[in-house]
Structure 1
Amino acid sequence: MNCQNNPLVSVIVPVYNVEQYLDECLNSIRQQTYENLEIIVVEDCSTDKSLEVLSKHLNDQRIKLIRHEKNSGLSAARNTGIDAAKGDYIMFVDSDDLVHLSLIELCVKYAIVNDADLITYNFKAFEDGIKLSLQLDLSNVDNLKVLEQGENYFNQQHFAWLKFIRTSLVKSKRLYFPIGLYYEDWPFHWELGLVANKKFHIPAELLLYRQRKTSITGSSGKKLLDLFKVHSLVLNLLEQYKAVSLKEKFANKVKISQWSILTRIDKGLLGQALNDAKQINKVLKTKNYKFEISIRILIINLIVSLPNILGLKMLELLRFLIKR
């Protein structure tokens, strides 16, 4: 490990079929104002020219290329990066996104000042094809009120690429992403929050998230069903850690997620999605997970509680009204 004032930061970049975005992504990392980096690029058997694009960056001695022998998915690529990381801190950047050039400098600064296990920050979404400046206005950086998080952390977005983490915490607690599931950030986010003692948030949009038509966050297909599986994984974590105070926060997230799934999943998958929602709701009720009351939550909770035939008809009506 490196001295306290100049820690090594491991940046993990999974790569799979991103030839048109990879240059921008890697340049935004290589040009960081903080230079003591190891950039761990995990190439997951791309079938396009990603490897060819990547080869142009290998003259940077900070880049460590790891190639999977077979395509294993995003979770496996990130886990490979975790195992390879030698830095004092670890972070993830998806290979179609960009980071502001001062991101890592700010994270290191506030991690050291606060002896933080975890630093989080905000993101700015942008449409694919739009060019954005990576320069951040730092004129007011000294006035940034970095916020100590506590349980407020669990109100944040689940994305792994919004986190700057003490590596020893990740490795000692064996924090990994579940293999073979989409929406793998959910369990990682929750378990990380459960084991991290000092959590702080930088209220600035330091990552630029590219909105692509192929993104799973906009999916309406079978991938959405994995959300029910990750809900169950997180619920098991909360029970394991006896996190009673987080029950309501989690239940709220599940209910909001159910609205999203059931109002946009492909019609042919609606029956299975409804059954999956019923199962997780039954467990929540059995384990006494309360939730906040809102119009959407009331509607979706009522529909899921109905017999399947009536519930499906109500869902079809709801989906029709939303699309009007």
Structure 2
Amino acid sequence: MEIKNPLISIIVPVYNVEKYLARCIDSILNQSLKNIEIILVDDGSTDSSPSICDEYSSKYENITAIHKKNERVSAARNDGIKLAKGKYIGFVDSDDWIEFNMFESMYKVAEDTKSDIVMCDFKKVGIQNQYKVSQPIREGYYDRNMIEKELFPCIIMFENIEFPPTISNWTILFRRKFLVDNNIYYDEDIHYCEDSIFGSKAMYNANSFYYMKGSYFYNYFYNPSSTTTTFNMKKWDSYVTINNRLKEYFKNDEFDFSRQIKINMLYFTLNFLKEIKGTNLSDKEKEIECKKILNDKAVKNIFKKFSMPDVHFKLKVIIMIIKYRLSFVYSRL
């Protein structure tokens, strides 16, 4: 039996996380706010995750488990949004966990301030250590004018080549009607950095926002041993697609987002080149792969009428190497 009128719908995309899934679900079940529904979207898992989802669903009336073929996290989250009945929507990744008062605290702020979006902070937790992550914007309430004045300048990318405040969608509580009315869903053909474009679109349309700075409610699990040194051009294609979507979506007559979009593409370029350098390819092979990226039209377009961003000297040197397409130099840095 499902909860008819949940206050919050919590969407959990699930894919091959049998080792961590129970910890995640238990942290949601243990929330101090009880009137919530949990939507587990099994995205074609091949381990025991599907049976874990079904076990919880059969035991708890506020848990719904759905099973689908593997279409990646964007499609899984969209499926959850479409099924959600709550006044608000939250996301939790299946290898992470949350503090017991996260959603009660965020719900109260959302209701008190009538905010479309409420955001908290998080802890990045590794095997041996952890550290707190906060955003470089002020705490508190933002109305529409404040959003345009203070957040539009960093809605896609900060000047120092850092992602925007809304990069981590799982730290955010969204008003469901706000998402649906503004047709804000994940781009299902984008499989990398899907949070970034979703968060930017949401903030662009929001009339109100509240930042609970210093409230570290979310625990993001980071396992260094799972980090791969391989790279693939599908990721690069996604990066280029994201930037093209940003250009199309953020055509604003009153605010010029073009520089942020270029800095966003620069971030992707820096990130992908770093991945190439992290492979076991030979120096010559690395040079060939770097050359492909540096000669991409999307990279060349960054530097048309483009001044150097506010970054440290070493990074400025690397950006100059990218600008002048010195693949040999970069591959041997």
Distance 1:242 1:290 in 2: 22
State the secondary structure of the residue aligned to 1:64: strand
- 8 A contact 1:256–1:297 mirrored in 2: no
**C-alpha contact 1:190 1:234 (8 A) present in aligned 2:** no
Distance 1:292 1:305, change over 3 A: closer
Q: d(CA) in 1 for partners of 2:298 and 2:332?
A: 23
Distance 1:24 1:209 in 2: 12
Percent of pairs with identical residues = 25
1:221 paired residue among 231, 238, 254: 231
Alpha-carbon displacement from aligned partner over 1:178-214 (angstroms, at most 9, x marks no partner)? 2232221121111111111111111121110011347
TM-score (norm 1): 0.80
Structure 1 counterpart of 2:242 = 230
2:328 aligned partner, one-letter code: K
Q: Is the 8 A contact 2:290 2:331 kept in 1?
A: no
| Pairs within 5 Å for 1:281-296 | 281-285=299-303, 292-294=309-311, 295-296=313-314
Letter in 2 for 1:121: C
Q: Corresponding residue for 2:327?
A: 312
Partner of 2:204: 194
2:90 paired with 1:80: no
Alpha-carbon RMSD = 3.0
In the aligned structure 2, how far is the partner of 1:270 from the partner of 1:233?
29
Q: Give TM-score scaled by structure 2 length.
A: 0.78
Which residue matches 1:104?
Answer: 103
Residue 56 of structure 2 is matched in structure 1 by 57
After TM superposition, the structure 1 stretch with the greater mean CA deviation from structure 2, 223-232 or 191-200, is 223-232
Q: Is structure 2 residue 172 aligned with structure 1 residue 163?
A: yes
Structure-2 separation of matches of 1:98 and 1:170? 24
Q: Match of 2:161?
A: none
The SS at the match of 1:81 is helix
Q: Conserved in 1, the CA contact under 8 Å of 2:126 and 2:224?
A: no
Contact kept in structure 1, 2:121 and 2:212, CA below 8 Å: yes
Q: What 5-or-longer segments of structure 1 have no aligned partner? A: 133-143, 319-324
Task: Measure, in 2, the Cα distance between the counterparts of 1:243 and 1:296.
Answer: 35
Alpha-carbon displacement from aligned partner over 1:7-30 (angstroms, at most 9, x marks no partner): 610100011111111100001001
- The one-letter code sitting in structure 1 at the alignment partner of 2:181 is S
**How many aligned positions are there?**
296
**Which sections of structure 2, spanning at least 5 residues, go unmatched?**
132-137, 156-163
- Give the CA deviation at 1:147: 4.7
1:299 counterpart residue number: 317
Task: Rate the CA distance shift 1:219–1:254 in 2: closer, same or farther, 3 A.
Answer: farther
* Structure-2 residue corresponding to 1:185: 195
Query: What's the counterpart of residue 93 of structure 1?
Result: 92
Deviation at 1:55, TM superposition (A): 2.7
**Per the alignment, in what secondary structure is the counterpart of residue 57 of structure 1?**
helix
Instruction: Provide the rounded CA distance (Å) in 1 between the counterparts of 2:183 and 2:298.
Output: 26
What is the distance in 1 between the residues matched to 2:53 and 2:12? 11
Q: For residues 314 and 171 of structure 2, what CA distance do their matches in structure 1 show?
A: 27
Q: 1:279 aligns with which of 291, 297, 302?
A: 297
